[in-house]
Amino acid sequence: MEGHGAYNRNSQVQASGIAPAIGSLEDAARAVPIGSGAAPLVVADYGCSAGRNSLLPIGIAVRALRERAGTSRDISIVHNDLPNNDYAALFDLLANDPASYLGHDPRVFASAVGHSFFEQVVPSGSVTLGWSSWSVQWLSSVPMEIPDNVAIGCSEDAAARAAFARRAADDWATFLRARALELRTGGRLVVVTMASDDSGDFGYRVVVAAINKTLRELAETGFLSETEVRRMVIPTYGRTRAEFVAPFGDSARFGDLALVHAELFFQEDHIWADTGEGRDAETFGARWAAFSRASVGPTLALFLEGGTGDPRRTEFLDRYEATMARLLAAKPEKSLMPLVQIVLEKRGAG
Amino acid sequence: MEGHGAYNRNSQVQASGIAPAIGSLEDAARAVPIGSGAAPLVVADYGCSAGRNSLLPIGIAVRALRERAGTSRDISIVHNDLPNNDYAALFDLLANDPASYLGHDPRVFASAVGHSFFEQVVPSGSVTLGWSSWSVQWLSSVPMEIPDNVAIGCSEDAAARAAFARRAADDWATFLRARALELRTGGRLVVVTMASDDSGDFGYRVVVAAINKTLRELAETGFLSETEVRRMVIPTYGRTRAEFVAPFGDSARFGDLALVHAELFFQEDHIWADTGEGRDAETFGARWAAFSRASVGPTLALFLEGGTGDPRRTEFLDRYEATMARLLAAKPEKSLMPLVQIVLEKRGAG
């Protein structure tokens, strides 16, 4: 990890993209059955990272549930991510940030589960409301090297594109099966994630081009080896809306999960807008570079020869960010930023 | 924190001390009501640290509950510690260690709560079985500087001893009130923790003497300032059995908690025994020094002028360990190691 809260400080791009889906989450919080017993209502947050982008949506979900359940009902929030996530930063944020939902409601309890969401991570039938933001685009692993690009969305290699598409389809089905086990009957899951538009365009072309060029420059100066650059891959995949709904078929059902809503939408490029549509090129470059360092830098650094312990790690991230900033400032361009939101409901016994 | 898993590698002293209490935990797992519904059984582990010493007791509790509840009942383990605990090490251990209880039972789910156990940390009435090992001796904060010692157990200062005793009494009552809220009716909590014997002796005299001498040496060489050494305190308190049972009074009740069992016992000094009762002085010193670095080193380092960011942190810990090893090797001596185990049951409505 890149130190306490580095991701929290540089994740505004994700935050600005989830606003439409937060409305769906609030609707779901008003629609799910909450029963009349005293058992805690459980809200699961799949892919929480260090938590910054969870505070707003989870806070809204908590308030909506609280209005329905009364003041004495306990609400349990389960934040899930990989085992090596920065949970200390998450718990610090939850305890101390003014925007933390914990500060506004004494009957809310937070916990974390450090386990891949491609398996079941909480007890069966326990989740009333699920949320996953900007996480499902990450694949379970890299299916193969991409010969011509760091990102499959910008690759022209047919074999690599096919291998990534297969892995993405398998991972989505695996993710859904695990969530189907975890949801209570009538419980809902709202997913918002990076996607490709209906023509298959993943977007972010100027940013991905800068990443490729940055890595080539770092190899040309000898800082990275050719082997390292060849192996570097961002293991994300932007599924199209059609790929997201495929498992549900004509019945809009996948096992116990019913498809309630699936929508492609486009996030505004706030960095482009905030920097005068290219007029403040330096800030444009600096902001995208900081975002890229925080979001994909740690992943790329894993491909350094020495892995997580490679002594060049911090210098790699510094050089990566500096080169990205220079390249992006040289030719500011607006990015297409496709997202998909999906709303699912657990049906049948559970 | 001192890097991934440092505590896990140097916590054998604690591990060897909890064996008698593990029997009480297993008994409690066989005694608690588990109901006939499908709701998960919840086991809470208060003060988990990086988890190494939790694997054995929690694994035994899980097996005892599993025998009673059948193969399909979900069991949820909640590991609790402070927000800045090394949760990544905990989740890595749970996922990958051969001794992890997760590997032996697919219907067990683990989570973490990074929040002080002096407040309620999980929903009301949710815990079937609670466990707390080697944690309750830590006070919520330092009530005052100790003029003559780093450890209150070896201080002769009456005012400091009184202030620490009051804080320890308040903290124990606060801890109990929070657990009373969390336990289900009939649920049990087993606590094993450092204590003082009936004469008020906290033990560990040779080790504490070495810590005091080490800090004085580091001040004499100019590595630590006099102010730093004066402020350094280990905020633990060894309550006597009488202090542990005091809140329960003649009725053996404290609110909804009933006192089932309270016992002073003495841990064997395994380091002394393993090193030939002083014959291998170098190993004796090295093992106690490594233990002391892992258990109290990070706490002492918080009192460095620069706090958690002090640039001398690693060198302080290195010098601390080296000096401790030298001093302890010079005069090996067996330590008195008093522990108390307490078993509590939640009564009444809840």
Helix segments in B71-118, DSSP class H: 87-96
Q: Which residues contact B292 (CB under 8 A, 6 or more apart)?
A: B207, B210, B211, B320, B321, B324
Side-chain-facing half-sphere of A21: CA atoms under 13 Å: 33
Does B124 contact chain A (CB < 8 Å)?
yes
Q: What is the pTM of this model?
A: 0.91
What does the angle CA A82 – CA B299 – CA B201 come to, to the nearest 5 degrees? 125
Helix (H), strand (E) at residue A79: strand A75-81
Above pLDDT 70, what percent of chain B? 95
Q: Return the pLDDT at A15.
A: 61
Q: Which residues pair with A266 in a beta bridge?
A: A338
Q: Return the pLDDT at B112.
A: 98
Taking the CA of residue B287 and the nearest CA in chain A, the distance in Å comes to 27
Phi, psi of B131, rounded to the nearest 5 degrees: -145, 135
Report the number of secondary-structure helices (H) and strands (E) in chain B.
13, 8
CB-based contact A114 B88, cutoff 8 Å: yes
Note the pLDDT tens digit of each residue in B177-224. Answer: 999 999 999 999 999 999 999 999 999 999 999 999 999 999 999 999
ipTM of the complex, rounded to two decimals = 0.89
CB-based contact A91 B114, cutoff 8 Å: yes
Residue B3 clears pLDDT 50, i.e. is over it: no
| A332 contacts A267 by C-beta, under 8 angstroms | no
CB-based contact B88 A84, cutoff 8 Å: yes
Residue B18 clears pLDDT 90, i.e. is over it: no
Averaged pLDDT score across all residues of chain B: 94
Task: Name the pLDDT band for B104 (thresholds 50, 70, 90).
Answer: confident
CB-nearest partner of A121 from B85, B90, B109 = B109
CB-based contact B40 A113, cutoff 8 Å: no
Please compute the mean of the pLDDT values over residues B18-22 and round it to a whole number.
87
Q: Return the pLDDT at B36.
A: 84
Note the pLDDT tens digit of each residue in A194-214. Answer: 999 999 999 999 999 999 999
Report the alpha-carbon distance of residue B335 to residue B149 in Å, rounded: 18
Note the pLDDT tens digit of each residue in A237-292. Answer: 999 999 999 999 999 999 999 999 999 999 999 999 999 998 999 999 999 999 99
Does B219 contact chain A (CB < 8 Å)?
no
| A129 contacts A29 by C-beta, under 8 angstroms | yes
Phi, psi of B322, rounded to the nearest 5 degrees: -65, -45
Please compute the mean of the pLDDT values over residues A84-112 and round it to a whole number.
95
Averaged pLDDT score across all residues of chain A: 94
Q: Return the pLDDT at B350.
A: 41
Higher pLDDT, B7 or B76: B76
Report the alpha-carbon distance of residue A106 to residue A75 in Å, rounded: 10
Residue A219 clears pLDDT 50, i.e. is over it: yes
Task: Name the pLDDT band for A2 (thresholds 50, 70, 90).
Answer: very low
Residue recorded with tokens 């606590």: B191
Please compute the mean of the pLDDT values over residues B245-267 and round it to a whole number.
97
Q: Return the pLDDT at A350.
A: 41
Beta strand residue intervals within A86-146, DSSP E: 108-114, 127-133
| B208 contacts B150 by C-beta, under 8 angstroms | yes
Higher pLDDT, A8 or A213: A213
Task: Name the pLDDT band for B15 (thresholds 50, 70, 90).
Answer: low
Selection from A110, A52, A91, A131 nearest residue B78 by Cα: A110
Which of B:42-101 have CB within 8 Å of A? Answer: 74, 76, 78, 83-88, 90-92, 94-95
Closest-approach residue (CA) in chain A for B124: A74
How many CB pairs (< 8 A) connect A and B?
Answer: 94
Distance between first and last Cα of chain A: 38
Does B113 contact chain A (CB < 8 Å)?
yes
CB-based contact B88 A91, cutoff 8 Å: no
Question: What's the one-letter identity of residue A128?
Answer: T
Task: Name the pLDDT band for B103 (thresholds 50, 70, 90).
Answer: confident
Note the pLDDT tens digit of each residue in B276-299. Answer: 998 999 999 999 999 999 999 999
Q: Which residues contact B199 (CB under 8 A, 6 or more apart)?
A: none
> Which residues of chain A does B123 touch, with a Cβ-Cβ cutoff of 8 Å?
40, 74, 76, 109
Residue B12 clears pLDDT 60, i.e. is over it: no
Closest-approach residue (CA) in chain A for B93: A83
Please compute the mean of the pLDDT values over residues B300-310 and round it to a whole number.
94
CB-nearest partner of A111 from B74, B94, B111 = B111
Side-chain-facing half-sphere of B251: CA atoms under 13 Å: 8
Report the alpha-carbon distance of residue B157 to residue B343 in Å, rounded: 33
The residue count for chain B: 350
Higher pLDDT, B16 or B60: B60
